[in-house]
Chain A
């Protein structure tokens, strides 16, 4: 069987190459997009269809220890959403946290082909890598938690920045991760060490260390830039979910001092108001800052009404949410590295705060001047399942639909925002930016998110439909590395995706410092901690260190 293919007659949306809806051929050979293929090459006729690069998700929780705990403790949620197998695919369970194979198939059904898992402690690296191997179809990678790392705190406390940078690079290599993740830096130390206390402001002192979150944030942003990671430090800000937290968010972005940083699910960090009281929208303040500061990128973390589950390394946040309804709650402390909290949740239209969150997310989308730096996410499953993406796309593309939906929400909350005044409608090209081109560019995945010659032939073909929700719900054809695996909406193959990691250089002498720390404070042996190269096959994405 030849691996060449030609897609003809489709309308191409390839924003990275400035192609906006033109009808063109796409030629594919050996998994890549090429200039041309021989005339007798098999064709897909995409007449009346929209062709886009495969979707790229910059921030979802799809694998690893906390995702799996969230799966394990919600049988009631899987029960009503079984995922039957086919001749080509494995079976599984659906719901708000689907099983690994089902996660891959369902993302692929939406036309996504690359998804990044957003937060895993390095101690669980093998776990997340094994789950990612079992996540069907997708290319993937994961972000490793570094914002509550005791060893790094110590280096920072002593001002040993050279060692700090080497240790970060060692950790990235040891865990085969894609970039540095910060979650509520300093907060887990407070939680575990001071009877469930938390830290709110980034200039507070971290429990039992003589440093502040600001120092941790600054040091990790600098390190990610200095190491030349393809994606900068990925930051879940302090004070998430609390009224008045937008100042913390602005402080965090300012701490970058002009260097690249990515603020994730920023909607959850765009609230005004007094702590403990109802929040207000500060979407404008946040948007203005981002519009003016090209070093900052963000994903929205849109809240969608319905079932969600809060699963986060921000353990104090989950504990706060537990008090809302006293639902079942998981906490999991990870030695020297992290905390974690999980709580089932539901966003309701009639609840003031939930409506406000929904509206703020939309405001952030609609106020963003540069869609290349404000990309689509629901922080799956925190703001809602990734299966909400088609509906979210319709909310962005269809003003009338948005107004119609707005009529059903909490009006007091709605009217305290500017959502009804925002008439903007996203174009298909802009949707292609926020769902594939921009996330790929922000991730530094040069072969993803576009359809130029040399790109990976990860391609999605949608039937064009006026109802954008219907259109984006199920792709008609999806290709992964040139391999057609969804044909006329049905799986016809089960290709295996890659796992990406970075492997920045570092001075090996740092291991002599980390080893005794492990002997004293970890429960695993230093030599057993790094993931063996034989354990999992990965592809290394190059780094470009600052000289």
Chain B
């Protein structure tokens, strides 16, 4: 199934810990290649934790795994259609537009992507 969603790259404590171990190490690579999706979006797309999905922005595409987004404990969070991925080489690869509107800062936290998944095993290996 394919849908258009808003990708917001973000920081997580896990990513912060992992980058101290080293950006070329597995823990960092894993954390920065796991996209977080709201449970109801996961259900709609038929995704389970650990499934592989394709994210496409312009001519670029990456394959990442997914997991349900942890929400605040006390509040109703209605942010659907937004997915979150810890910053790293993968989120940068999807930042295909370097335009900064004269500020130096690209729209780093506002990437429109197509999400496709779950992918079959052979496709995500390729």
Question: A and B touching (C-beta < 8 Å)?
Answer: no
Contacts from A to B (Cβ < 8 Å): none
